A and B are shown apart, each in its own frame.
Chain A
Amino acid sequence: MSKSDDLFWVTRVTLLGDKSAFDQLTRKYQSSIRRFFLNLTMGDSPLSDDLAQETFIKAYLNINSFQGLSGFSTWLYRIAYNVHYDHVRARKITSDIIESEINQMHQLNNSFSAEKMDIHQALQILRREEKTAVLLFYMEDKTHKEIAKIMQCPLGTVKTYILKGKEKLGTYLKNAGYGN
């Protein structure tokens, strides 16, 4: 399904409220959005699914505001980023437990993260913004410009996040024996 197909399905949802068109869009993007959340939440599968569900519901309710200037995928990631940001902010208010401790708890209890321990440990050394930018750039194949739109920050800032994240991750992976 190409970008023009996306636009076609979006038009169907916008003009006719066609749920089956939204079904097509969800099937296409559920994997990448859920993977994005899985990596941001250190493999917490139930939480990732909840956040992904919230993302798609928000996308459905606000699809009229999609102007087609950026791709539907970029627009969806932007909602996902905001949903995750809101979640982290809410968790900070309600909990005194350090975020890294929660992430470690998730890692130990989760079958997905048992196999993905390496990436989650590697991502933990990054700041939240660096982690998001690095994931979008390397894992989700987004360009700097698209990441700037998703994270709603200047292009230069995104480049800095990625550069810093690259330095930290590179050192970590070399020390962990990768690339030998």
Chain B
Amino acid sequence: MPVMETNNNDKLIRDFMMKQKVEVADNHFTEKLMRKLPAKKNYEWIIVLLAAIGTIICLILGRDSTLPAYTISIHSLPGEHTLYYLLGGVFLTPFILWSGFELFRRKTFHWI
């Protein structure tokens, strides 16, 4: 087939298809689908668990502890920092990030 004719066909078909292209209205399709979705395991509890571990570490080891308070120095920050608080902070990070995200989306905290 000559190149010219192929290009003509290409334009002809593209124009024809674009004319026939329609946006299909949702018409409750999504709602019906969401109702039919099978249950899937929800892993939000992992974040809650991490937050709980972080809080417990902070409470038990961070205050009035008889354990030696290990401190570390961080290059970019002045002074020395208690390791337990830093550990607590690490565990709490997912919880804080997730809370911020949920607040941003204005979602209700149904499990708190």
A45 to chain B: closest CB distance in Å? 9
Our count of residue pairs bridging A and B at CB distance below 8 angstroms stands at: 92
Residue B33 at the A interface, CB < 8 A?
Answer: yes
When C-beta atoms are compared, the residue in chain A nearest to B44 turns out to be A16
Residue A129 at the B interface, CB < 8 A?
Answer: no
Report how many residues on chain B are interfacial, defined by Cβ distance under 8 Å.
Answer: 32
Within 8 A of A (CB), among B27-58: 29-30, 32-34, 36-38, 40-44
Whether B8 lies near A179 (C-beta < 8 A) is: yes
Question: C-beta contact mask, A45-70 vs B, less than 8 Å → 1, else 0?
Answer: 00001001100110011000000000
A–B complex contacts, Cβ < 8 Å, 21 sampled = A16-B44, A27-B26, A30-B24, A30-B26, A31-B25, A31-B26, A35-B22, A38-B24, A49-B29, A53-B33, A57-B37, A57-B38, A60-B40, A118-B20, A139-B17, A139-B21, A166-B9, A167-B9, A170-B5, A170-B9, A174-B12
Interface residues of A (CB under 8 A from B): 15-19, 22-23, 26-27, 30-31, 34-35, 38, 49, 52-53, 56-57, 60-61, 116, 118-119, 122, 134, 138-139, 163, 166-167, 169-170, 173-174, 178-179
